[in-house]
Amino acid sequence: MSKKTAVKQKSKQGDKQARKRSQAQTRPTRGTLFVVSSFLVASAVLRVGIGASEAIAREDFGAASPLGAMSTPQICQQSEDLRPLMAAFDEREDRIAKQEEEIRNRMQALSVADAEVTRKLSELEVAEDRLRNVIAMAETAADDDVSRLTRVYETMKPKNVAALFEEMDPDFAAGFIARMNPNSAAGVMAGLSPHAAYTISVVLAGRNANVPTE
């Protein structure tokens, strides 16, 4: 073997050993890169999965929840639909308030009228008492006048009184004879005509018949 051939073989052996060392140094680096890449890919997949899950959960919650299903246009539409009902309620409240005000005014008017009626009744009672007193006084005065006139007839002559009673209404004549003392009354009755004496006697008997015996 020549020297050139020996040198070439040594050079080849050196190159092989250098490649082996290079491969031995490169393998750990590639392994590390693979592990890091795997972690990055797993992290990305995990993020994508979480995002998809959240999106699906939001969609499911929106579909299941009434608030999610209720959109803004629907709320506005419902508000528009409630306006006539609310207006009707407001109108009814106004009408009830007016009716209550009218009732209060009527009650106040009735209270005033009741007070006025009570006052009028009190005045009527006072006037009635006064009238009763006046009537009593008039009756007393009339009775006094009749008694005084009866005494005058008693002092007159019987024939003159009889002539006067002949012209008088039998009821009045009977009233005076009933008040006179028996002697004076007997003289007057004796001077009367039979017809007048009979009529006055009937009136006196009728008055006595109406008097209670018990």
pTM: 0.38
| HEC letters along the chain | CCHHHHHHHHHHHHHHHHHHHHHHHHHHHHHHHHHHHHHHHHHHHHHHHHHHHHHHHHHHHHHHCHHHHCCHHHHHHHHHHHHHHHHHHHHHHHHHHHHHHHHHHHHHHHHHHHHHHHHHHHHHHHHHHHHHHHHHHHHHHHHHHHHHHHHHHHHCCHHHHHHHHHHCCHHHHHHHHHHCCHHHHHHHHHHCCHHHHHHHHHHHHHHHHCCCCC
Residue 174 clears pLDDT 80, i.e. is over it: yes
Given a contact cutoff of 8 angstroms between Cβ atoms, the answer to whether 54 and 60 are in contact is no
Q: Which amino acid is at 203?
A: V
Instruction: Provide the 10 A C-beta neighbour count for residue 204.
Output: 18
Percent of all residues in the chain with a pLDDT value above 90, rounded to a whole number: 29
Compare 154 and 52 and report the one with higher pLDDT.
Answer: 154
**Cβ-proximal residues to 159 (8 Å cutoff; 6+ apart), any chain:** 191
Q: What percentage of the chain reaches a pLDDT higher than 70?
A: 60
pLDDT of residue 213: 54
pLDDT score at 22: 53
**Given this model, what pLDDT does residue 129 score?**
87
| pLDDT higher than threshold 60 for residue 183 | yes
Q: How far apart are CA 149 and CA 163, in angstroms?
A: 16
Assess whether pLDDT exceeds 70 at residue 111: yes
User: How far is 143 from 52, CA to CA, in rounded Å?
Assistant: 126
200 or 40, greater pLDDT = 200
pLDDT digits (tens, 9 = 90+) for 49-92: 555 555 555 555 444 454 444 455 555 566 677 888 888 888 89
pLDDT of the residue at 134: 82
Question: What's the pLDDT at 188?
Answer: 92
Residue 26: predicted pLDDT: 46
Residue 118 has pLDDT above 70, yes or no: yes
